[in-house]
Amino acid sequence: MSVGRGVALTCAIILMVLWCAIWCVHLLALFYGKWRLHYTPPVSPEDLQGVSIIKPLTGVDPHLYINLETFFKLKYPAYELLFCVQDDSDPAILVVQSLIAKYPKVDAKLFIGVKIVGPNGKINNMIRAYEASKYDLIVVSDSNLRMNDDTLTDMVASLSPKVGLVHQMPYVCDRKGFAAVYEKVYFGTQQARNYLSANCAGVNCTTGMSCLMRKDVLEEAGGMAAFGKYLAEDYFFAEAFREKGYSTVISGQPALQNCGSYSVDSFHQRLIRWARLRSSMIPVIIILEPITECMLMGVLTSWAAQYLFSVSPLAFFLLHVLCWFLIDYMLMRVIENGPLKISKFEFLVAWLLRESMALYLTMRAHSTSKIVWRNRKYRVRWGGLAEEV
């Protein structure tokens, strides 16, 4: 056998092994999601500890009022709401004040001003509220989230003596327009697949949009201020808990993002930012992520199947895409806990656009080390460390 044929054979075998591994990930996410999501472990009222919910705010989103109001309606015995804004000219202040006046029986406070502990603006915004929190459990919740009245109970019920951090799997509410469908399909397929399978396998996949943490363990790690040097503070929160011997788990209810301002382009910018952050923390992702996407994986394994088994590459590719599509559709039904609220045609168009754009967005993400986040520019270095430009 010539050297060239030996290299080709090796590459073809590696690709087929990787292809089989990806299908295992698909099935793992599907079955784990069916088992874990939309299930709240039994919990007695006396086990529902007090919770301090920190809400960092910047500006007013069209849905901000209705999103924040859901936190005033939580059915939970003891919790406090700690709202944070960066300066006294922020219009979010009026929204918070109106809700505090509307629900005087809810323990809620407003903090104005930042405490600089690093380049992470979100951490700087939350520090004063964190230092004033009175309960042993801390929830960090983004401004664009809404909660069901039993969501906090669901998160606390997922705690156990060995669990230090509970996070919600990112998802989105139903909204109007194609951009909303596009986001929902992404979070219900590609994002959900990676999130569920990683959590099942014990891989750190924490996102900080909604997570509950033990305050005493966080204090042992240096407190919230110790994470101000990172942009992806959520990932390093989880790493700190793991180092202390605690596990991190997802709760039964997904996190419901409900942005009032959205578009396909703005969503692409979010995907690019997240890809840059992931690659700075785990460099091997630069190579692995693109080749594990549906279209590129299909092209590569079509060649490998033809080389190894003399299979028609076009037939193999079409079957590969069809199976990927069907399993993604089933996974999104698991996330929705029932039939989809969008048509099959809308799902198809959004799914095709997402899969077709994956390689382009990945290349955009790796074209620079700079990140634009909340109108500020940052340069991310290896290890996830960030500095403002």
**Is residue 124 located within the same domain as residue 13?**
no
Per-residue pLDDT at 149 exceeds 80: yes
* Assigned token pair, 213: 């943490």
183 domain-assigned: no
pLDDT of residue 372: 66
**Is residue 213 located within the same domain as residue 311?**
no
The crossing angle, in degrees rounded to 10, of helices 190-201 and 3-36 is: 90
DSSP bridge pairs for 79 = 51
Q: How does residue 49 score in pLDDT terms, banded at 50, 70 and 90? A: very high
Q: Is 154 a catalytic site residue?
A: no
**Is residue 243 located within the same domain as residue 308?**
no
Catalytic residue among 61, 142, 154, 234: 234
**Is residue 291 located within the same domain as residue 367?**
yes
Structure confidence by residue, pLDDT tens digits, 224-264: 999 998 888 888 999 999 999 999 999 999 999 999 988 99
The mean-pLDDT minimum among 54-58, 162-166, 270-274, 311-315 falls in 270-274
Structure confidence by residue, pLDDT tens digits, 297-350: 999 999 999 999 999 999 999 999 999 999 999 999 999 999 999 999 999 999
Residue spans of beta strands (DSSP E) within 203-285: 210-214, 247-250, 255-257
The 3-state DSSP class for residue 171 equals: strand
Q: Into how many domains does the chain fold?
A: 2
**Is residue 224 located within the same domain as residue 306?**
no
**Is residue 20 located within the same domain as residue 100?**
no
103 domain-assigned: yes
pTM of the complete model: 0.92
Structure confidence by residue, pLDDT tens digits, 26-43: 999 999 999 999 998 888
**Is residue 152 located within the same domain as residue 257?**
yes
Which positions ≥6 away from 267 have C-beta within 8 Å?
Answer: 179, 182, 183, 186
pLDDT of residue 385: 62
The whole domain housing 371 covers 3-34+272-388
**Is residue 241 located within the same domain as residue 156?**
yes
